[in-house]
Amino acid sequence: MLNVTPEWKGPHQNPGYDWIPADLRIDHVYPISCKFRLRVHTPWDWRREFDLAEFSVSGDETAQQPKVLWSASVLSREMSTTTSVQGHIEVRWSHGRFGGNPEAKVYLDSPLEQVPGYVPL
């Protein structure tokens, strides 16, 4: 029998603010998102199953604030298929433009179920 240690993170922190949207971790390794009902691969698992085939960025000149569009192509080693994932980055100045260090927020625009390494439960 496999002995596992579950760790409940619970609702004390919104999964949207965590670097991995996980409410539950099994043996401190396998993050589980109860909000999105997904298991997130560890970096080790991800590198064993996928290859990053391409990563590209471009500016969005139609946006009112600085915005960078990004896309990635990920190759599944097992199935020899490629999946595309898209997102964007919003750049913000904390104390007015050029008055302080900028901050950036990275967004995933693709559905979570289509992201390599996010396994639906």
Residues 83 and 100 in one domain: yes
Residues 31 and 74 in one domain: no
Domain carrying residue 22: 1-40
d(Cα 20, Cα 6) in Å, to the nearest integer?
16
| pLDDT at residue number 35 | 65
| pLDDT at residue number 9 | 53
Q: Is the pLDDT of residue 115 over 70?
A: yes
Task: Name, in order, each residue with C-beta under 8 angstroms of 13's C-beta and a sequence gap of 6 or more.
Answer: none
Q: Is residue 120 part of a domain?
A: no
| Whole-prediction pTM | 0.66
Q: Is residue 83 part of a domain?
A: yes
The model's pLDDT over 46-69, given as tens digits with 9 standing for 90+, comes to: 999 999 999 999 988 887 778 899
Residues 55 and 72 in one domain: yes
**Tokens matching residue 22:** 């996980």
